[in-house]
Structure 1
Amino acid sequence: MLKINDINVFYGNIQALKEVSLNIEPGEIVTLIGANGAGKSTLLKTISGLLKPKQGSIVFEGQSIAGKQAQMIVKRGLSHVPEGRRVFSNMTVEENLELGAYLRKDKDGIRKDFERVYDLFPRMYERRKQQAGTLSGGEQQMLAMGRALMAKPKLLLLDEPSMGLAPLLVKTIFKIIEEINQNGTTILLVEQNAHMALSIANRAYVIETGKVVLSGTAEELNSSDQIKMAYLGGH
């Protein structure tokens, strides 16, 4: 579904990604693990068109998307939930969700997806007339995910969905991620909580200082001593 080959990405003179390659099959949950500043968010931004690679290729469903405009990439079926949620705080929950569907014309489909989002996130239904800025961090995360789903993505990029959330909410968010995947959406997940990420992923890539240094099934990485020491607190 997504094939990335040897991409190099720079911020000015600083190289943020160094010959990164990865691939994602339809229906998978693939997770990127790495320390802060390793290049995980940069990779998601490059896939979704917010950054342009200097070299290398990004092919989504057989078509090159490297350097294409972000809205064209959304139209193709790829949505990005950025780190830090980025909801429109002075708009209501409902208006935020409507914005997620702004490229769509299928009114019936949009209505169905509203129902689907409210099924996944019942709290969003309760808060639908409330300004997004008044929601808790966890609710804003749910809204950001719901808004991305309103674009009807085939592939969903999630950047740090558990960041700053209480442990109980983290469990809820991860359950919902699994449910979104079971409903047919492929997921690329960037997550500091390596333990949780590996518990729901099929495969994982480890990024260190802009390079992919390790990849394998989630089980393989879960039982790797190297990963345990670096990212799983040595357990």
Structure 2
Amino acid sequence: MLSINNLSVHYGKIWALKGIDMEISQGEIVCLIGANGAGKTTTLRTISGLVKPTDGTIRYKGMSIGNLEPPDIVRHGISHCPEGRQVFPRMTVMENLEMGAYTRKDRHKLTEDYQRVFDYFPILAERRWQLAGTLSGGEQQMLAIGRALMSRPQLLLLDEPSLGLAPFLMEKIFEIIQMINKEGVTILLIEQNAYQALTIAHRGYVMETGYISLSGSAKDLLHNEHVKKAYLGE
């Protein structure tokens, strides 16, 4: 579904990505783990068109998307749920969700997508007319994921969805991620909680200072000594 080859990105004199290669097949959950500053967020921002590659290629379903603008990438079926939630605080829950569907032309079908989001996150149905800025951190994260789903993505990019959440909310978010995947959405997941990410993922990549240092099945990475020492607290 997504193929990244020799992808490099620099900000001025700083190289954030240094020739990375990744493959994501349809129906997978693939996680990308690594320390802060390793280049994980830059990878997602480059896939979604927010950052332009310096070199290399990004192909989605065989089509080169490295030079497309973000709205066009969304129209082709990729949606990005950014780090830090970034909801529109002075808009209601419903208005935020509607913004997630801004590229869609089938407006008559939005009602079923609102309901889909409310099925995943019933609390948002109760808060639908509340301003997003007044929601709790967990509710804002649910809204950010729901907003990303409103474009009906085939590939969902999730950047640190459990960051700052209480443990019970973190577990809920991971359950929802698995449900979304089981309904046919492919997921590329960046997650600070490497153990949880590898527990639900099919495959994983380890990134260190702009390089992919390890890759393999999630099960193999869970038992890799370097991963256990560096990212699993063992």
TM range (shorter): over 0.9
Q: Do the aligned residues in 2 keep the contact of 1:51 with 1:67 (CA within 8 Å)?
A: no
Give the C-alpha shift of residue 67 in structure 1.
2.2
Query: Do the aligned residues in 2 keep the contact of 1:44 with 1:157 (CA within 8 Å)?
Result: yes
Provide the residue aligned with 2:204 in structure 1. Answer: 204
- Partner Cα distance (1:109, 1:200) in 2: 31
In the other structure, the counterpart of 1:220 is: 220
Which runs of structure 2 are paired with 1:40-189 in the superposition (5 Å)? 40-189=40-189
1:110, distance to aligned residue in structure 2 (A)? 1.5
Shift of 1:78: 0.1
Once residues 113 and 154 of structure 2 are traced to their aligned partners in structure 1, the CA distance between those partners, rounded to angstroms, is 14
Q: Secondary structure at the match of 1:52?
A: coil
Q: Give the whole-Å Cα distance in 2 for the aligned partners of 1:83 and 1:107.
A: 28
Unmatched 5+ stretches in structure 2: none
Show CA shifts across 1:130-158 (max 9, x none): 00000000000000000000000000000
Indicate the SS of the match to 1:199: helix
Query: Which amino acid counterpart does residue 102 of structure 2 have in structure 1?
Result: Y
Which amino acid in the other structure matches residue 225 of structure 1?
E
Give the secondary-structure state (helix, strand or coil) at the position aligned to 1:213: strand
Q: Percent identity?
A: 60
Partner of 1:9: 9
Provide the C-alpha distance between the structure 2 equivalents of 1:122 and 1:194, rounded to a whole number of angstroms.
27
Q: CA–CA distance in 2 between the matches of 1:107 and 1:40?
A: 34
Deviation at 1:9, TM superposition (A): 0.2
Alpha-carbon distance in structure 2 between the residues aligned to 1:56 and 1:91: 38
Superposed CA RMSD: 0.6
Amino acid at match of 1:131: L
In 2: Cα distance, 1:67 partner to 1:211 partner:
22
TM-score of the aligned structures, taking structure 2 as reference length? 0.99
Could you tell me how far 1:111 is from its partner in structure 2?
1.4
Question: Structure 1 unaligned runs (5+)?
Answer: none
- The one-letter amino acid paired with 2:175 is K
The reply to whether residue 30 of structure 1 matches residue 38 of structure 2 is no
Map of 1:229 onto structure 2? 229
Q: Secondary structure at the match of 1:109?
A: helix
Q: Could you state the TM-score of these two structures normalised by the residue count of structure 1?
A: 0.99
Deviation track 1:211-232 (CA, whole Å, cap 9, x = no partner) reads 0000000000001111000000
Aligned counterparts of 2:108 and 2:178: Cα–Cα separation in 1? 25
Structure 1 stretches of 4+ moved >6 Å: none
What is the CA–CA distance in structure 2 between the aligned matches of 1:32 and 1:225, rounded to whole Å?
Answer: 17
Q: What is the aligned length?
A: 234
Report the AA paired with residue 61 of structure 2: E
Contact 1:19-1:56 at 8 Å conserved across structures:
yes
